[in-house]
Chain A
Amino acid sequence: MNIEIQTIGDIQVIALAGDVDANTAPKVQQEILPLALPQSKILLNLTNVPYMSSAGLRMLLSLYRQTTAKQGQLVLVGLGQDIRRTMAVTGFLNFFTTCDSLELGLTVFKRENH
């Protein structure tokens, strides 16, 4: 699992690469949860995540709760078909803002600013 964090304007862009399972999810959570500060804008790029188990869903749930509690914004981009299906079956998908690409995801934040 590779985690890259960069800042574009006032948006924190987190790019994950690799499978998110019960072995790797705790590391991801440890790295990214501290980024959920008050009013933070977080874009999670999952373009290079081919697999996510329920451990990954729990990580997303924690991040969602943290950003919501702190009036932040969270956008997921690059969800593969398989992960999208898992999120739909568990009822997660409807609660997240999702975009197909990084470029589109960055635009969503701008739009919510106006």
Chain B
Amino acid sequence: MGEALRVVGVLESLGAIAQYVKTAAAAAKLEPAQAYNLRLAVDEIATNIITHGYQDAGLSGEILVWDTCTPKSLIIHLEDYGQAYNPHQWQAEVTPELCQQPLEQRPLGGLGVYLAMRSVDQFRYGRVGDRNHTEFVIFRNPTP
């Protein structure tokens, strides 16, 4: 486990969160596409935490980021004190069928969660007391 990152829950913190994920992905020797997808998933959910969990709810707070790496997987953890949310409920907003519709008719929302869910091997969310805890799991390829 690398040293945890603690950032203020504002959009300007997305760069630091991305850098943390990229460093963890490199240390875990993920494939480039896996590393990109992991960064995408974390970035999308961190964006939602900041804009919906904190800003829209009139709250402010921090996001804590840390990783756990085992021979089989790399897990990125996000913890925040924003409003409770369940990304699994948002998942239904965008479907593969909707993605085939002409762009003129597409709604603007929901894409981030759709991408996040599809970009990692496992996605876990839980509310623990007054905190949201989100985990992004990528399975590491066995070293030849």
Give the interface of A toward B (CB within 8 A).
19, 21-23, 51, 53-55, 57-58, 61, 64-65, 68, 81-82, 85-86, 89-92, 95
Q: Are B112 and A53 in contact (CB under 8 A)?
A: yes
Q: Are B14 and A51 in contact (CB under 8 A)?
A: no
Which residues of chain B from 85 to 144 have a CB within 8 Å of any chain A CB? 94, 98-104, 106, 108, 111-112, 114-115, 118
Q: Are A61 and B108 in contact (CB under 8 A)?
A: yes
Give the interface of B toward A (CB within 8 A).
11-12, 14-15, 18, 33, 36, 39-40, 43-44, 47, 50-51, 94, 98-104, 106, 108, 111-112, 114-115, 118
CA–CA, A64 to B102, complex, Å?
11
CA–CA, A95 to B101, complex, Å?
10
- Known: A61-B108, A90-B115, A91-B98; 19 extra A-B contacts, CB below 8 A, are A21-B43, A22-B47, A51-B18, A51-B36, A51-B40, A53-B43, A53-B47, A53-B112, A54-B114, A55-B112, A58-B108, A61-B106, A64-B103, A82-B36, A86-B40, A89-B99, A90-B94, A90-B111, A90-B114
* Interface class of chain B by DSSP: helix
A-B interface, 6 closest residue pairs, ranked by CB to CB distance from nearest? A91-B99, A54-B111, A54-B112, A23-B11, A22-B47, A82-B36
A48 to chain B, nearest CB (A): 16
